[in-house]
Chains A and B, each alone.
Chain A
């Protein structure tokens, strides 16, 4: 298949680059050929995005079960063990099934278009890294229907508790292995594409920030996914083959698992947020009609955050009983992350400053991201203070923190990006009215959902409990109401996408947005099946933001 593509790529090289006609797309015909065997970066990107949207809805319905049980004190709906399966599965699905694959989908669609490459560097591996995922998640979800139930020890899978999971544990471990393989292949592809396939003249410091953040993310993924794979493999052998990596009675150490897990886990949270930084750095300049402020500083800040993310892991373990010197080190290192994170926020605000702003849906979500992510960053700073974390840790305060950075953080950025590039992907404009309704409902309800959780945590409500003492009743009910509205609002998102793809009558132009800059806007909408068969010219008009072109 690939050879065939390369072949007709040469045939039509001239035609595609100069005048834009999409009648010579040569899309494979037939469902299997088009989707199962595809090596086309746009089709694979679409597969990833659709898959992650489905996972977002499945993970979201689990969250609805959780919020429904927590609506009032007492157990009304589910047994505690099933509740724990829900919290565990919700997190695993959202992290590995929704957010990460969604970013890979964006990478597939946009990186070749943004650096002027005809496709990803390794198209067959690209196909494989996607098609592993449906099997991994079918396997993971199937554990809910097994006799021993799904995993219920939290997404962190701490032993010895996780080792009490029944036979289904093996399926969980293999599912995690498969996700890891998929992520690693995806990252290798991203790195190979960015380092080898850029159009001549697209130097590293002319790349759009989304490409930069993904390049750094890909290195993080390659560094930490094997660590996670190793950790769960040790759990597997402890569970089924009698080893004692984490069993104190056999000479092992349960805390060692936590160190290994968080050596993966902290970079993992940046894997979910760095591409979000990238998307927001694309959107704010477009709708401010003004170049990104401090492009180079943004690149360096991203790189320093990535570096620091490797040396802060034990801030998740302040209560585990570490030596004082260790706690001090991890506290200082964690506080330090606030500096490059602050630089990013200040640069975004400066990008907007004295711009000529309009507020289409992508811009609304991007602004929502900056405000609400900042709140999450500030609570992160509070959590970094080790002695006070001995109070905050494992309470709803932490739940509020990470949901602020992940939901109105990473997920809002995903939505912003979707609205931003949807016209480019489909050739149609989405409904601006419904996009805005989606934004306002989401932005308001997400705060009703998560803001009260700060108060709950401070007042002493632990996380991961199915029932709570009556003093926490009011804010839990408020939070649940926010949760239901937020959940329902996402159906609007699905509706807007379906409408845009199949029903919308408004055709998109190539540039789509008045202030849009960058190579992806030089190709027609929808982007033809094959783009940049000949490398595009790189100049001030086609480079989104690079310091050298800004004077």
Chain B
């Protein structure tokens, strides 16, 4: 009689714990959404996934043992069943057993845990390097060998839909909040080194499929590495609180074959050449205003707002400001060099001369500023070259 009760309670607890655990594995089939850690697409991510499952299993078994003992006791040893309390107070033997066994389990866990960590932290010889810089609230990618350099921001549809009471249903936006205007393209089967840093505050670069995240700390350069095995698009997000738009700086990595990668680099370089040529010609006010509006919307509006009114007290208005309506030289300097100690970055190193000239022209003429000033891209080229 008693024995069968113990069996029943143990089974019930096992079932409850197993159900929670089982949901992890089968839920995707029902909801279409993954709710367990991803297996990822690198050796490291897969090692991490296996380690995660091993430790989870150990925890589940410990949980079942402890909770079963407890619920058996709750079931049997109750006053309402007339159970008389025993009066034992300790058992040295039992206490030694449940100190030693956990230590052994921990040692067993420590072995693969140490191996995985060494795999991540002792980087092999890498074949290419990408420098990643986080700033509020975008990522900049510089391919050190291939000379590609761009800023990647939240994709425009997501950016519009995510506004407070925007009236857009996020379900209608593709990859809501996980899409960018420019993807980080990388070759598969290539050991890539990442140099990760930040410009203003701490961010963290995280793509779950690669198996790790790493903090981007201003003034310091962190290293990480990866080797992606399968072509595909892998999405991630900033993982360290970095201010108001922390939730809105996604990362999209596109892994392609080595040939496609080479072609992509070529196209980027061609585009750069075109931009260089464009920067030397004379632009009309209308052209600069049109292009400037685009640049303003993707780069400047998060802080200074679409209407140029800013967000007091951190982000000053550009409408009617002494900078945007004052002397041009000072205005150019603020945009190129940023403002120390504030969220205003030095755009000089991040945007093309044309983009900067267009943004300057736009902000000097929009929002009722109407200065009529026109900043030519080649002016910026000349200033930047000293």
Closest to A461 in B: B237
**Contact A395-B239, Cβ < 8 Å, known A248-B219, A293-B90, A327-B117:** yes
A339 touches B102 (CB 8 A): yes
CB of B85 to closest CB in A, whole Å = 4
Cβ contact within 8 Å between A293 and B121: no
Residue from A154, A319, A393 having most chain B Cβ neighbours under 10 A: A319
Decide: A248 and B70 in contact? CB cutoff 8 A: no
Report A304-332 CB contacts with B as 1/0, cut-off 8 Å: 00000000000000011100100110011
- From residue 160 to 195 of chain B, which have CB atoms closer than 8 A to chain A? 161-166, 168-171, 175-178
Nearest B residue (CB) for A75: B164
Q: List B contacts of A3 (CB < 8 A).
A: none
User: Are B89 and A292 interface neighbours, CB within 8 A?
Assistant: yes
In the complex, which residues of chain B have a beta carbon less than 8 angstroms from the beta carbon of A547? 89-90
The answer to whether B162 and A354 have CB atoms under 8 Å apart is no
Say whether A166 faces chain B, with CB atoms less than 8 Å apart.
Answer: yes
Which of A80, A166, A319, A390: most chain B CB closer than 10 A?
A390
- Taken together as a complex, chains A and B put the C-alpha atoms of A319 and B37 apart, in Å, by 17
Among the stretches A5-13, A41-49, A466-474, A525-533, the one at the interface with B is A466-474
Q: Which residues of chain A are within 8 angstroms of B242 by Cβ–Cβ distance?
A: 161
Residues of chain A lying within 8 A (CB to CB) of residue B48 = 387-388, 390-391
Is A79 within 8 A of B35, CB to CB?
Answer: no
Instruction: Determine whether B312 belongs to the interface, using a CB cutoff of 8 Å to chain A.
Output: yes
A354 close to B85 (CB less than 8 A): yes
Main secondary structure of the interface of B (DSSP, over half): mixed
Q: Does B86 contact A (CB under 8 A)?
A: yes
Answer yes or no: A137 CB below 8 A from chain B CBs: no
Which A residues lie within 8 Å of B202 (CB)?
A: 158, 160-161, 254
Q: Complex: how many Å from CA A292 to CA B312?
A: 59
**Chain A residues, CB < 8 A from B222:** 320-321
Evaluate contact between B113 and A387: CB separation under 8 angstroms. Answer: yes
Which of A247, A387, A455, A462 lies in contact with B237, CB distance below 8 A?
Answer: A462
* B24 CB-CB contact with A under 8 Å: yes
> Contact between A255 and B35 (Cβ–Cβ < 8 Å)?
no
Shortest C-beta distance, B151 to chain A (Å), equals 20
**B310 interfacial by beta-carbon distance below 8 Å:** no
Is A367's beta carbon under 8 Å from chain B? yes
Query: Are B117 and A331 in contact, CB atoms less than 8 angstroms apart?
Result: yes
Nearest B-chain residue to A451, judged by Cβ: B20
Interface size on A, residues (CB 8 A): 104
Residue from A290, A294, A319, A320 within 8 A of B85 (CB atoms): A290
Q: Does B122 contact A (CB under 8 A)?
A: yes
Residues of A within 8 A of B175 (CB): 469
A227 adjacent to chain B (CB < 8 Å)? no
Supposing A74-B161, A465-B246 touch, asked if A353 and B73 sit within 8 A by C-beta, the answer is: yes
Q: How far is the CA of A383 from the CA of B126 in the complex (A)?
A: 29
Q: Please, how many angstroms separate the alpha-carbon atoms of A247 and B27 in the complex?
A: 46
- In the assembled complex, which residues on chain B have CB atoms less than 8 Å from the CB atom of A537? none
CA of A370 to CA of B71, assembled, Å: 12
CB-contact partner of B106 in A164, A320, A335, under 8 A:
A335
Q: Are A355 and B219 in contact (CB under 8 A)?
A: no
B109 within 8 A of A: yes
Contact of B117 among A328, A382, A551 (CB under 8 A): A328
| Stretch of A201-209, A213-221, A373-381 that contacts chain B | A373-381
Cα separation A339 to B109 with both chains bound (whole Å): 14
Given contacts A74-B170, A459-B33, A474-B31, contact A249 B219 (CB under 8 A): yes
B306 at the interface (CB under 8 A from A): no
Shortest B111–chain A CB gap in Å is 11
How far, in Å, is B256 (CB) from chain A's closest CB?
Answer: 22
The answer to whether B241 and A158 touch across the interface, beta carbons within 8 angstroms, is: yes
Binding-face segment, A105-113, A191-199, A344-352: A344-352
- Is B332's beta carbon under 8 Å from chain A? no
In contact, A381 and B247 (Cβ under 8 angstroms): no
- Scoring A374, A382, A386, A391 by chain B CB atoms within 10 A of each residue's CB, the highest score goes to A391
B38 & A254 in contact (Cβ 8 Å cutoff): no
**Number of chain B residues whose Cβ lies closer than 8 Å to a Cβ of chain A:** 109
With both chains docked as a complex, state the minimum distance between the C-beta of B218 and any C-beta of chain A, in angstroms.
Answer: 6
Which residues on the A side are within 8 Å of B74 (C-beta)?
352, 357, 367
Pick the contact of B55: A349, A374, A381, A474 (CB < 8 A): A381
Complex Cα–Cα for A543 and B106 (A): 37
List A contacts of B201 (CB < 8 A): 159-161, 164
Which among A335, A356, A393 is the interface contact of B109 at CB below 8 angstroms? A335
Instruction: Give the residues from 121 to 172 in chain A that come closer than 8 angstroms, CB to CB, to chain B.
Output: 147-148, 152-154, 158-161, 164, 166
Does B335 make an interface contact (CB < 8 A)? no
The answer to whether A74 touches B36 (Cβ under 8 A) is: no
Which residues of B from 60 to 97 have beta carbons under 8 Å from A? 62-63, 66-67, 69-70, 73-74, 77-80, 83-91, 94-95
Chain B, residue nearest A339 (CB): B102
In the complex, are the beta carbons of A255 and B56 less than 8 A apart?
Answer: no
Q: Does B364 contact A (CB under 8 A)?
A: no
Determine which of A147, A367, A469 lies in contact with B312 in the assembled complex, contact meaning CB atoms within 8 Å.
Answer: A147
* A475 contacts across to B, CB distance below 8 A: 35
A164 to B245, CA, bound (A): 14
Asked whether A327 and B121 contact (CB < 8 A) given A290-B87, A321-B222, A459-B36, the answer is yes
A-contacting residues, B130-185, CB 8 Å: 161-166, 168-171, 175-178
Q: Does B265 contact A (CB under 8 A)?
A: no
User: Chain B: which residue is nearest A255 at the CB level?
Assistant: B217
Per-residue contact bits, chain B 277-313, to A (CB 8 Å; 1 contact, 0 not): 0000000000000000000000000000000000111
Chain A residues lying within 8 Å of B253, measured Cβ to Cβ, are: none
Question: Within the assembled complex, what's the spacing in Å between the Cα atoms of A170 and B83?
Answer: 61
- Quick check: A297 and B35 within 8 Å, CB to CB? no
Q: Mark B208-230, 1 if CB is under 8 A from A, else 0.
A: 10011111011110110000000
Taking the complex as formed, is A361 at the interface, i.e. its CB lies under 8 A from any CB of chain B?
A: no
Q: Is the CB of B78 within 8 A of A459?
A: no
Partner of A73, one of B86, B106, B176: B176
Determine if B377 is an interface residue (Cβ-Cβ < 8 Å): no
When distances are taken between beta carbons in the complex, the residues of chain B under 8 Å from A469 are 170, 175-178
Contact B247 A80, beta carbon cutoff 8 Å: yes
Q: Are A470 and B241 within 8 A (Cβ)?
A: no
From B59, B106, B161, B178, A336 is in contact (CB under 8 Å) with B106
Cα distance, A295 to B276, chains bound together (Å): 77
Q: Contact: B89 with A293, CB < 8 Å?
A: yes
B38 with A460: CB separation less than 8 A = yes
Cβ–Cβ contact B103 & A339, under 8 A? yes
Cα(A166)–Cα(B342), bound, Å: 11
> From B163, which residue of chain A is reached at the shortest CB distance?
A75
Chain A residues with Cβ below 8 Å from B204 are 319, 394
Q: Which residue of B lies closest to A168 (CB)?
A: B313
Asked if B247 and A465 make an inter-chain contact with CB atoms under 8 angstroms apart, the answer reads: yes
A289 at the interface (CB under 8 A from B): yes
User: Which residue on B lies nearest to A455, using beta carbons?
Assistant: B35
In the assembly, what is the distance between CA of A294 and CA of B93, in Å? 11
Question: Once the chains bind, are B87 and A291 in contact (CB under 8 Å)?
Answer: yes
Q: How far is the CA of A354 from the CA of B85 in the complex (A)?
A: 6
- Smallest distance from the beta carbon of B106 to chain A beta carbons, Å? 5
Q: A468 — which chain B residues lie within 8 A by C-beta? A: 177, 247
Does B29 sit at the interface, judged by CB under 8 A?
A: no
Chain A residue with Cβ nearest B71? A371
25 A-B pairs with C-beta separation under 8 A = A74-B162, A75-B164, A75-B165, A160-B202, A164-B342, A249-B218, A255-B217, A288-B85, A297-B90, A319-B239, A320-B215, A336-B106, A339-B102, A352-B74, A357-B77, A371-B67, A375-B63, A381-B59, A387-B51, A388-B37, A390-B213, A391-B37, A393-B239, A459-B34, A462-B238
User: Top 4 closest A-B pairs, CB basis?
Assistant: A248-B219, A465-B247, A455-B35, A387-B116
